[in-house]
Amino acid sequence: MKVAGITECLMVIAPWKLEVARVFGDGAASGISLSYVMRNVPRGLADAVDAAYAWVRDYDVALALPDTLLSPADVFHQIGQERLRSQADVVLGVFPTPKPEQLGPVRFDPQGRVSEVLDKPKTTDLKNTWGLAIWSPRFTALLHEQVAAAPEDGKPTLGAVFHQAVKEGFDVRALYFEGGTFLDIGTPEGLGRVVSGVGL
């Protein structure tokens, strides 16, 4: 994020993850101003992102997931540049993966226009996953509407909201990092790869 010129970051955390705030503090050590939003009940990623709505609704939002390692190091800079160039509502950073069924594969044309975003499909011909995103206030408003309209025990996945944006005619783009790496260290396998030095 710092490489991309991002200067302010909100972390959405649960009460049982306060160690995150203790370790990262106000962000002074990283050169990014860090703030924290508490979400007491886990209702999925879309709901967690929407917890920051009051603070981010008028700005572009750059989303990174806490348990993933990505390469190249300037991925945020590259998708940020694509957002500025194309003025798309959403730009997804997409990476190759051998396990798309466990993640969020994206279908897009040679120009990067997205036609489908899946969420942990049982089967798919795609061999990729989105791993980070940048979006406009227009998408933030759609996300807020979708989360607010859903029942407490049935909040949509973020992938489903990305797909809903496509269905509603939003300009959703994919920037594919063909030689890039997406590693989920929130799984025993992914964490084991990092510990053994096989990661990025």
DSSP for 45-67? HHHHHHTTHHHHTTS-EEEE-TT
CATH class assigned to 43-195: alpha beta
Let me know: does 51 contact 65? Beta carbons within 8 Å. no
What local confidence, expressed as pLDDT, does residue 200 receive? 56
Residue-wise pLDDT tens for the chain (200 aa)?
A: 888 889 999 999 999 999 999 999 999 988 899 999 999 988 999 999 999 999 999 999 999 998 888 999 999 999 999 999 999 999 999 999 999 999 999 999 999 999 999 999 999 999 999 999 999 999 999 999 999 999 988 999 999 999 999 999 999 999 999 999 988 887 777 767 767 776 55
This prediction's pTM = 0.92
Cα torsion through 70, 74, 80, 85, rounded to 10:
-120
Sign of CA dihedral 67, 72, 73, 79: negative
Angle between helices 158-167 and 137-149 (to 10 degrees): 110
Element (DSSP H or E) covering residue 11: strand 8-13
Residue 192, pLDDT score: 74
